[in-house]
Structure 1
Amino acid sequence: MQFLTNQTNKLVFTLIVGSIFSSGCTLQRMVRQAEKNQIITVEPSPLVANGQNITFELKGQIPNSLVRDKQRYKVDVFYLYNNDEKRENLGSLNFEFGEFLFEKEKPTISKVFTFPYLPEKQNGKLMVQGLAIAKKGGETKYGKPKQVAIGLNTTPLLLVRNNDFSFIPETYSEGANKPAVLTFYFEENQAKLQNYAGSKLQTLEQYFLDNVASQTVKVSGSQSPDEAGTNMAEKRATAVAQYYRDRVNVLDYSGKKVNVTTQPTQEKADEILIRKLKATALPKKDVQEIVAILESDKNNAQKTAALKTVAAAEYLENYVYPGMRAAYIEINYNRNRKSDYELYLLARRIAEEKADSDVLTEDELQYAATLTPLLNEKRKLYEAAVKTTDKWAAYYNLGTVYMEMARKEYRPKAKQELLTRAIHNLTFAGFRNPTVPVYYSLASAYHIRGEMLEALQYYDYALRLGGEPEMLQRTFADKAALEIEIGQYDDAIASLRYAGNSYQTNMNLGLSYLLKENYEGALAYYGKALELKPNDALANYSIAVLGAHTNDAALLESSLRKAIKADNTFVQKAINDLEFRTYKGKPAFEDALIR
Structure 2
Amino acid sequence: MVRTAEKKQEVTALPNPLAANGQQVNFELRAQVPEKLVRDNQTYKLDIYYEYGLERENIATYNFQFGEFIYEEGEPTITRQLSFPYTPKKKEGRLMVQGRAIDNKDGDIRYTDHKQVATGLVTTPLLLVRNNEFDFIPDTYKEKANQPAKFAFFFEENKTELRSNLGSRLQVLDQYVLDNVEAQSITITASQSPDESGSKLAEKRAESLEDYYRKKIKTLDYSGKKVDIRTSAQKADLDLLLQRLQASALPSEEKAEAIAILSSDQSQIAKLSGLKQTEAFSYIERYIYPSLRTASVEMNYNRSRKTDYELYILAKKIAEEKADADQLTEEELQYAATLTPLLAEKRKFYEAAVKSTDKWPAYYNLGVVYNEMARKDYRPEAKKALLDKAIHNLSFAGFRNPTPHVYYSLASAYHQRGDMLEALQYYDFAIKLGPEESVLQRIFADKAALEIEIGQYDEAIASLRYAGDSYQTNMNLGLSYMLKENYEGAERYYTRALELKPDDALAYYSMAVIGARTQNESLLKHGLIRAIQADRAYMEQALEDPEFDAYRKKESFRDAFKL
Determine if the TM-score, normalized by the shorter chain, exceeds 0.5: yes
Letter in 2 for 1:544: A
Seen in structure 2, the aligned counterparts of structure 1 residues 269 and 366 have a Cα distance that, compared at 3 Å, is farther
User: 1:264 Cα deviation (Å)?
Assistant: 4.2
Which shifted more, 30-39 or 95-104?
A: 95-104
**Contact 1:203/1:390 (CA < 8 Å) preserved in 2?**
no
**Contact 1:186/1:196 (CA < 8 Å) preserved in 2?**
no
Aligned residue for 2:538?
570
**Contact 2:238/2:268 (CA < 8 Å) preserved in 1?**
no
User: 1:269 Cα deviation (Å)?
Assistant: 3.2
Aligned residue for 2:17?
46
Aligned residue for 2:35?
64
Letter in 2 for 1:92: T
Question: How far apart in 2 are the matches of 1:476 and 1:454?
Answer: 15
What do the CA deviations read for 1:181-237 (whole angstroms, capped 9, x no partner)? 222222222222254632201112332233333322222111111112221111112
Seen in structure 2, the aligned counterparts of structure 1 residues 497 and 422 have a Cα distance that, compared at 3 Å, is same
What do the CA deviations read for 1:556-576 (whole angstroms, capped 9, x no partner)? 111110110111111110000
Letter in 2 for 1:250: T
Question: How far apart in 1 are the matches of 2:23 and 2:141?
Answer: 40
User: 1:39 Cα deviation (Å)?
Assistant: 0.6
What do the CA deviations read for 1:144-203 (whole angstroms, capped 9, x no partner)? 111111111111111111111111223332234332222222222222225463220111
Letter in 2 for 1:362: E
Aligned residue for 1:424?
392
1:341 paired with 2:309, answer: yes
Aligned residue for 1:204?
173
Letter in 1 for 2:9: Q
**Contact 1:556/1:589 (CA < 8 Å) preserved in 2?**
yes
Aligned residue for 1:531?
499
Normalising by structure 2, report the TM-score. 0.96
Letter in 2 for 1:590: R
1:272 paired with 2:243, answer: no
Question: How far apart in 2 are the matches of 1:573 and 1:172?
Answer: 44
**Contact 1:281/1:499 (CA < 8 Å) preserved in 2?**
yes
1:112 paired with 2:76, answer: no
Question: How far apart in 2 are the matches of 1:211 and 1:337?
Answer: 18
Question: How far apart in 1 are the matches of 2:146 and 2:398?
Answer: 24
Letter in 2 for 1:435: T
Q: Which aligned pairs between 1:258-407 and structure 2 lie closer than 5 A? A: 258-265=227-234, 269-407=237-375
What secondary structure does 2:503 align onto? coil
Question: How far apart in 2 are the matches of 1:494 and 1:295?
Answer: 27
Seen in structure 2, the aligned counterparts of structure 1 residues 180 and 461 have a Cα distance that, compared at 3 Å, is closer
Q: Say which of 411, 419, 430 aligns to 1:451.
A: 419
- Number of residues paired by the alignment? 563
1:94 paired with 2:52, answer: no
Aligned residue for 1:193?
162
Aligned residue for 1:20?
none
Aligned residue for 1:34?
5
Aligned residue for 2:99?
130
**Contact 1:206/1:389 (CA < 8 Å) preserved in 2?**
no
Letter in 2 for 1:56: F
What secondary structure does 1:153 align onto? coil
Structure 1: give runs of 5+ residues left out of the alignment: 1-29
Question: How far apart in 1 are the matches of 2:420 and 2:93?
Answer: 25
Q: Say which of 194, 198, 215 aligns to 1:225.
A: 194
Letter in 1 for 2:22: G
Aligned residue for 1:152?
121
**Contact 2:151/2:403 (CA < 8 Å) preserved in 1?**
no
**Contact 1:483/1:491 (CA < 8 Å) preserved in 2?**
yes
1:76 paired with 2:44, answer: no
Aligned residue for 1:18?
none
Question: How far apart in 1 are the matches of 2:297 and 2:120?
Answer: 56
Question: How far apart in 1 are the matches of 2:18 and 2:392?
Answer: 34
Aligned residue for 1:497?
465
Seen in structure 2, the aligned counterparts of structure 1 residues 217 and 314 have a Cα distance that, compared at 3 Å, is same
Aligned residue for 1:551?
519
What secondary structure does 2:28 align onto? strand
Letter in 1 for 2:453: E
What do the CA deviations read for 1:407-456 (whole angstroms, capped 9, x no partner)? 12222222212212222222222222222211111111111111112211
Aligned residue for 2:26?
55
The Cα RMSD (Å) is 1.7
Letter in 2 for 1:150: T
What do the CA deviations read for 1:385-415 (whole angstroms, capped 9, x no partner)? 2233222222222221221121122222222
Which shifted more, 471-480 or 324-333?
A: 324-333
User: 1:306 Cα deviation (Å)?
Assistant: 2.1
Question: How far apart in 1 are the matches of 2:541 and 2:134?
Answer: 29
Question: How far apart in 1 are the matches of 2:114 and 2:489?
Answer: 43
Letter in 2 for 1:75: L
What secondary structure does 1:57 align onto? strand
Question: How far apart in 2 are the matches of 1:232 and 1:411?
Answer: 52
Question: How far apart in 2 are the matches of 1:257 and 1:331?
Answer: 13
What secondary structure does 1:197 align onto? helix
Which shifted more, 222-231 or 424-433?
A: 424-433
Question: How far apart in 2 are the matches of 1:463 and 1:439?
Answer: 9
What secondary structure does 2:189 align onto? strand
Question: How far apart in 1 are the matches of 2:233 and 2:12?
Answer: 67
Question: How far apart in 1 are the matches of 2:348 and 2:67?
Answer: 55
Question: How far apart in 2 are the matches of 1:208 and 1:515?
Answer: 54
What do the CA deviations read for 1:264-292 (whole angstroms, capped 9, x no partner)? 43x65311112112321112222222222
Q: Larger Cα Rg: Structure 1 or Structure 2?
A: 1
**Contact 1:222/1:269 (CA < 8 Å) preserved in 2?**
no
Question: How far apart in 2 are the matches of 1:528 and 1:177?
Answer: 44
Question: How far apart in 1 are the matches of 2:277 and 2:344?
Answer: 53
Aligned residue for 1:413?
381
**Contact 2:10/2:32 (CA < 8 Å) preserved in 1?**
yes
What secondary structure does 2:238 align onto? helix
